[in-house]
């Protein structure tokens, strides 16, 4: 498989809409030049070496088994992963997803919120809900990532209780879920 065919397969697998014209790749409003396989990418000071006379926004290159973009104006190596840019080939069938879990949920969740939320925005989601089991440790990270991507955050948590006694104890601890009425000094007996 050629270098270009590998790139097109990658773009298709990531649902990135693209147009190919020889070694020029159009993604969104940007035009990139594909750097040939085997070309020296950077020098010992980590400066990006490829250049062109073409009128392009940047370069696309493969390094370490991943695809990256490099802005035409930057000499320093950027290593901007080629993912969730431009337009998705199709949008999700709904705008909201609930029940997202991450590595904050020990034993069940994997990944991180910033990646999930970037992908959700790329695919057209407008709101996401966290619902991890027995923890709210990831709420701040989740909300921050949602704000950064202009996505509405919905906060929830799954609580596990064991048997009827556990459920009754949970009901007795209702002050966790609602405000307690104030008791003044005269009512205390």
pLDDT tens by residue, 71-118 = 998 888 888 999 999 999 988 888 887 777 887 887 777 778 888 899
pLDDT tens by residue, 132-160 = 888 888 889 999 999 999 999 998 888 77
Q: What is the mean pLDDT of the chain?
A: 85
**pLDDT (mean) for 4-26:** 96
Return the percent helix, strand and coil in the chain, to nearest 5.
25, 25, 50
**pLDDT (mean) for 11-36:** 95
CA–CA separation, 112 and 101 (whole Å): 9
Instruction: Domains for the chain: give ranges and CATH numbers.
Output: 3-81 (no CATH), 96-176 (3.20.20.140)
């Amino acid at each position: 498989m050629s270098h270009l065919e590998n790139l097109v397969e990658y773009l298709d697998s990531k649902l990135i809409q693209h147009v190919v014209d020889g070694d020029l790749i159009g993604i969104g409003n940007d035009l990139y030049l594909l750097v040939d396989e085997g070309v020296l990418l950077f020098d010992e000071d980590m400066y990006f070496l490829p250049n062109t006379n073409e009128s392009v926004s940047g370069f696309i290159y493969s390094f370490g088994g991943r695809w990256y973009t490099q802005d035409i104006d930057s000499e320093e190596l950027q290593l901007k992963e080629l993912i969730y840019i431009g337009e998705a080939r199709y949008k999700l069938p709904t705008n909201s997803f609930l029940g997202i879990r991450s590595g904050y949920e020990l034993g069940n969740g994997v990944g991180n919120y910033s990646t999930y939320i970037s992908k959700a925005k790329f695919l057209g989601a407008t709101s996401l809900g966290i619902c991890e089991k027995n923890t709210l440790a990831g709420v701040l990270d989740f909300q921050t990532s949602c704000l950064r991507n202009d996505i509405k955050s919905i906060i929830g948590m799954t609580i596990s209780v064991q048997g009827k006694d556990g459920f009754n104890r949970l009901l007795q601890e209702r002050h966790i879920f609602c405000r307690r009425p104030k008791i003044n000094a005269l009512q205390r007996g």
